[in-house]
Chain A
Amino acid sequence: MQSVQLGLIDYAILIIYVAFVVGIGFALRRYLKSSSDFLTSGRSIPAWVTGLAFISANLGALELVGMAASGAKYGIATSHFYWVGAIPAMVFLAIFMMPFYYGSKARSVPEYLKMRFDERVRALNSIAFAVMTVFASGISMNALAKLLNQLLGWNYHIALWICSGVVLIYVLKGGLTSAIYTEVLQFFMIVLGFAPVVYLGLKDVGGWGTMKASLQTVAQNPAALNLGTNAYPSEAWTSAWKPLLSGPAANPMGVDWFAMVFGLGFVLSFGYWCTNFLVVQRAMAAKNMSAARRTPLIAAVPKMLFPALVIVPGMIAIALTSMPDKQYRIPPPIISDNVYNRAVEAVKMAAAMDPEDALPMVSEAMGRKLNAERITALVKGAEQMTDQQIKQGIYDAIAEYDYDGVILSLVKKYCPPGLLGLALTALLASFMSGMAGNVTAFNTVWTYDLYQAYIAPNKSDQHYFWMGQAVTVVGILLSIACAYFASMYNNAMDIIQLVFGFVNAPLFATFLLGMFWARTTGTGAFLGLFGGIAGSALFHAFTLSAGNAPGVKGGYLAVWQTFPSEMAQNFWLASFAFTVCFVLTLGISLVTRRTKTDAELKGLVYSLTPKIKDEEKAWYLRPATLGVILLVCCVILNLIFW
């Protein structure tokens, strides 16, 4: 619980990093001449750069922190979010969808929707997307500022404003190119900053084999470590598929294989990777069609290997927790000093009375589950202790975990000064890359799809250039506002994320039908999308997951179906919304008149677009060949960790 003291060397590394990302922004400033240079990079970047930026924009701080948390909660099965929930969709994007995005000369995903359908679909998609990016970056900024506050004792507000300020400077100076370039640098920073931590952690637990063995013991009795009340088969944390195939009760995710493969692997994953402008924008900035198509494929290589970097730390943390001699615990939830002070008072009061009554009193003051034996022991010794020692005692007795703190707790445990600076810089880099990704996607969608389309069409390019820059500032200020909002109203944030889930779940059905069926009409797409969103909201209103009361978690109209876990509910919701949107779009398209001719849809729909010939290219430049190789590698990984 003591915050870590940074040495001179740590600050030096941090400052060098900041100087370089800001420097890149300034170095690129002289190349910016038009709004498209600023917002779309003028389509000039080589594939390996856009590829690494593609993955880096996705690898925000929440991903890093959240995946380690899931690694601890669910073990190796978390890698389904990579091997099932990312790689196939990335390959599909490269081979089938990039030709339309890039070939149509659309500047954004909503603009593609306008070309393919009509203004209504574009407006719906761009407004939802713009709001979502701002909230997404606000939520992750709040999380990061909290972590820095907790770990380093930095002031929350200063951390928030300085980090955002750095992103603002380099995005404002160098536009999308600057965001993409720094994302590449951040990619290497993240990998090289966290790799030694993972290595030291693995070495400390005694290597992969010992870690696996201790996780197998943990799986059979998770209650011993306060990891839940169910017992699982021994391979629950160490196999990717076996627990899943044995049904929801046999794995800590509480998910069945169909929901995993269809809900996550198809609907959610394709919906994110193939339609989210945040990532697609990186590929659209590539210098030519071939580079654009290779972008997601290049990105898929590190994505496939990331579980080693982001999930393994969570597993290490569980293994360490199960080894008493390692003196490690997963950090407890972040609790404010005021609450601690009240609890310290409660301990002192209890010490004067009967120690046996202490637990309820202290638990109530903390508002958390506490370890009874430790509290009793603490109360007995409290008279000889300072407040600080009592506080530490209460901290040690908290029997709840904040899984999001796993990755930083390992950094704290293993990094001496020097390496500590590097790992923290990596964390900041992941935060900045995610934020810059959101901001550059936001300013493009705002400028081209909302401002130019509906507010001020037919202005000079210089005007849109100016607007792009102005809205970059506005976007960052809005994110900061969202961060404060998130820090004040946790529940409100949950609701907002829930609504985004509703909006996103059906989206891929619209794209799939739009790109591969020329008969799909604008009205069909628009109403189908609306129906899908309404369908997911209704689905949520009538279902619940085990252990939750009706309310924000669903079931507020009636409980028709109870899922074993929130994740299962989420996957089924997505599958349902997709199906509703798909069927509605299909049906309505059949009964409405087509408004676009075949000639207008050329380059936008699969059957009406000339196939790209890449047979004469070297095999390593052909997207289809590369895609197949990647999928084979992905299958092999699944088999190894079966």
Chain B
Amino acid sequence: MGLDIRWPIGLMFSLIGVMLVVYGLITGSNAELYHRSLDINVNLLWGMLLTVFGVAMLILAWRGARVNPVPQQ
């Protein structure tokens, strides 16, 4: 099949990850908001992790495309 699933996965998680990081930075000073998550800014931290995961998927997809170009049907 012509589509490497790692592209959409990588793109989606990078996008959501960056959004969470930005949202975490904006809301970081709002202690009340993060009270429920045990005073941890989970949006910032988990957003960073999602971004790393997404970018790693993109790198794998990019390397895969270089090593093994998909024949266009």
Interface residues in chain A, defined as those with a beta carbon under 8 Å from any beta carbon in chain B: 9, 12-13, 16-17, 20, 23-24, 27-28, 30-31, 41-42, 44-45, 49, 177, 181, 184-185, 188, 192, 196, 200, 203-204, 413-419, 422
Count of A-B contacts with CB under 8 A? 91
CB distance from A403 to the nearest CB of B (A): 22
Q: Given A44-B1, A200-B40, A416-B42, answer yes or no on A422-B16 (Cβ-Cβ < 8 Å).
A: yes
Check B15 against A418 for contact (C-beta < 8 Å): no
Mark interface residues in B28-53 (1 if CB within 8 Å of A CB, else 0).
Answer: 00000110111010110011011001
Interface class of chain B by DSSP: helix
CB neighbours of A418 from chain B (8 A) = 20, 23-24, 27, 42-43, 47
Min CB distance A413 to B, Å, is 7
Minimal beta-carbon separation of B58 from chain A (angstroms)? 13
Which of A30, A184, A204, A417 makes the CB contact (< 8 A) with B38? A204
Q: Which of A16, A41, A196, A204 contacts B16 (CB 8 A)?
A: A16
- The complex places the Cα of A17 from the Cα of B50 at a distance, in Å, of 14
Q: Are A416 and B33 in contact (CB under 8 A)?
A: yes
B61 at the interface (CB under 8 A from A): no
A183 to chain B, nearest CB (A): 10
Q: Which residue in A27, A31, A419 is a CB contact (below 8 Å) of B37?
A: A419
A12/B19 contact (C-beta < 8 A), A184-B9, A185-B12, A417-B33 known? yes
B5 contacts which of A30, A49, A415, A419 (Cβ < 8 Å)? A49
Count B-side interface residues using an 8 Å CB cutoff: 30
The verdict on A192 contacting B53 (CB below 8 Å), with A28-B1, A414-B36 known, is yes
Please indicate the chain A residues that have their CB under 8 angstroms from the CB of B27 in the complex.
416-418
Q: Which of chain B's residues have a CB closer than 8 A to the CB of A17?
A: 12, 16
Q: Which 7 A-B pairs have the closest CB atoms?
A: A418-B43, A20-B12, A181-B5, A418-B23, A9-B23, A419-B42, A44-B1
Q: Are B37 and A200 in contact (CB under 8 A)?
A: yes
Query: What A residues does B23 contact at CB under 8 A?
Result: 9, 417-418
Residue picked from A28, A200, A416, most chain B C-beta under 10 Å: A416
In the complex, what residues of A have CB within 8 A of residue B34's CB?
416
- Complex contacts, B3 vs chain A, CB 8 Å: 24, 27-28, 31, 181
**Known A28-B1, A44-B1, A196-B42; contact A413-B12, beta-carbon cutoff 8 A:** no
Q: What's the least CB distance linking A51 to chain B, in Å?
A: 12
Whether B19 pairs with A9 at a CB distance below 8 angstroms is yes
Are B36 and A31 touching (Cβ within 8 A)?
no
Residue among B3, B16, B24, B36 with max Cβ neighbours from chain A (10 Å): B16
Q: A16 CA to B53 CA in the complex, in Å?
A: 17
Contacts of A12 in B (CB 8 A): 19
B46 and A188 within 8 A (CB): no
- In the assembly, what is the distance between CA of A422 and CA of B2, in Å? 29
Q: Could you tell me the distance between the alpha carbons of A416 and B32 in the complex, rounded to whole angstroms?
A: 10
Given contacts A31-B2, A192-B50, A419-B46, contact A20 B33 (CB under 8 A): no
Contact A196/B46 with A16-B15, A28-B3 known, Cβ cut-off 8 Å = yes
The answer to whether residues A185 and B9 also contact, given A41-B1, A422-B16 and a CB cut-off of 8 A, is yes
Residues of A within 8 A of B1 (CB): 28, 31, 41-42, 44-45, 177
